[in-house]
Chain A
Amino acid sequence: MLRERILNFVFAFGLLAVPLIAYVSDAPFVITLATKVAILALAGVGLNIALGLGGLISLGHAAFFGIGGYAMGILASHAQSYTLLTTWPFEIAGTKSMLIIWVVALASSGLAALIIGALSLRTSGAYFIMITLAFGQMLFFFAISWPAYGGEDGLPIYLRNGFPGLNTLDPIQFFTITYVILGLALFLSSRLSKSRFGLALQATRQNPERVEAVGMRPFNIRLTAFLISGMITGLAGALFADLNRFVSPSMFSWQTSGEIMVFVILGGVGRLYGPVAGAALFILLEHWLGGINDYWQFLLGLILLGVVLFARGGLIGTLVGREVAHD
């Protein structure tokens, strides 16, 4: 437990130190990479609540990531074109305010998680994986064929959205925003895992029959986990869109779902900092291996195979040792 805490601190500190050094040595590209790690880690923190704590193998988290992205894209595109989002039943204008966009992203991905969860959580195992995948694909094809917001070409946003008191176009300032949000999500995730809900969720993963026999309904517990999980991943989607200043249907693609899952598995399923370690490793590999070889994803596949076969606890599990502490 102590070793894992030290390791968590190293990752938290490292993710802060790298962009600071890059800032001092004037390497904005590295800051952008670190920002990407923070955002993708945030998406993984969301998935890790469903997957790691709840054992829910969702291959549809791109749905929430994409909804968060499009929440940003739709609001900001109306703001930049000075058009109203809707005129009925009342007028809604777009916005360039990150805070409002985040609230909308959280609410809309949460609503989607409730609906998708309520339908897919009636199944389990391979069926659950397939249904979540199907929902993701439905939204993917919907985004492709919806011409109002760019369709297949996606939707560029020319200026990054604003945050009171900060210049979000400055890479280090935008990084700070994402880093703080990641920190808050990790704090929430840590508290969740030790709470009443966390106890019930982890018990449901291991023995739902027993949970029911002591008076709690596994379905309700799982749906709550799916809701929280989807909202966090949705928020990451909004930030990711803001990082790229571009939204496209690929955010909804099943490859995106797969990548988010890869972060969690690489880092360590159910480990608090697993998604951070996984996303960092993924981006580093993409950067290094991608520089060496166009087929870097083949090498990534080999690494993933190695992790699954020989290092079940992922990066963090391997470095810390087998035991997950329960205090």
Chain B
Amino acid sequence: MTDPVLSVRNISKSFGALKASDEVSIGLLPGEIHALIGPNGAGKSTLISQIAGGLRPDSGTVEFLGQDVTTLGTAARARMGLARSFQVSSVVPDFTVLQNVVLAVQGATGHWMGFLRPVMKATGLTEAAINFIDQVGLTGRYTIHAADLAHGERRKLEIAMALALSPKAFLLDEPMAGLGVEGTGEMTKLLDQLRHKAPILLVEHDMDAVFKLADRISVLVYGRVIATGSVDEIRTNSEVQRAYLGEEAVL
């Protein structure tokens, strides 16, 4: 059996009386897309924050690449290759597409202590960045300001920035959110290619996309994982149907 790239063990996190994460365990295996679904308020974002490093769990551990990273900060985890996208697109608005990705390329190396040489003339950095931009299909958009991009393009830019981290795992928080039918189709295709680079933990509300992409699905309800399994197992799981979709819904 292969070891998981990322493994969350018995994580709990409370905010006052609210248990946002309740003994959550999730593993991400090499090569897979593991979807995390659940109704609003189930604690998906809290869980993602704990995995990415923005929140420290009250108890439990996060292991990444066989190393306990529970006490490491977000930046250190990113440098190890934990690449994330945000629920609301998060890029540097006044920077061009190219500058955004160069920022990520330089961040991946942890080397920002250069004070005199112009970074955008460092061909090593810009060539790598252009390569990542091309991979997500933003070819030719290098000098557009991120603020002027269409919503779908900004999503792709985030993926390009994630690619720049030499990712060992992707953590994607609702990459389809706000995309139209066409945009969702393109993003689905893109994610299907990404899985060959690194496994993806995918939080997503778009069920069509989830069923198309996911190798495994975990269902989070009220901070607890109530089921983990293949697409078919989850579709037919009566507890999931009750908790997540209401009595009548049929997946």
Write the residues of chain A forming the contact surface with B, with a CB cutoff of 8 angstroms: 188, 191-192, 194-200, 202-203, 206-207, 209-217, 221, 224, 324, 326-327
Contacts and interface: CB of A to CB of B under 8 A. Distances in A.
A53 to B, nearest CB: 12
Pick the most buried of B111, B119, B145: most chain A CB atoms within 10 A of its CB.
B119
Nearest to B96: A326
B contact residues, range: 35 or more
B11 interface: no
Interface string B105-140: 011101111111111101000000000000000000
Interface string B220-233: 00000000000000
Interface stretch (B34-42, B57-65, B87-95): B87-95
Contacts of B103: 199-200, 203, 211, 214
Contacts of A198: 119
Contact of B119 (A196, A206, A207): A196
Contact of B52 (A213, A217, A224): A213
A211 B119 contact: no
B164 interface: yes
13 contacts: A195-B118, A202-B94, A212-B78, A213-B52, A213-B78, A215-B78, A215-B79, A215-B107, A224-B113, A324-B94, A326-B95, A326-B99, A326-B145
Q: Can you list the 3 inter-chain pairs with the closest CB atoms, starting with the nearest?
A: A214-B107, A196-B114, A215-B107
B219 interface: no
A203 B95 contact: yes
A163 to B, nearest CB: 26
Contacts of B96: 326
B90 A194 contact: no
Given A207-B92, A214-B103, A215-B110, 8 more contacts: A191-B116, A192-B115, A206-B94, A210-B91, A212-B74, A214-B104, A216-B107, A217-B73
B95 A197 contact: no
B108 A215 contact: yes
Nearest to A196: B114
Given A210-B90, A217-B73, A195 B114 contact: yes
B102 interface: yes
A22 B45 CA distance: 66
Contacts of B164: 214
Contacts of A196: 106, 111-115, 117, 119, 122
A203 B92 contact: yes
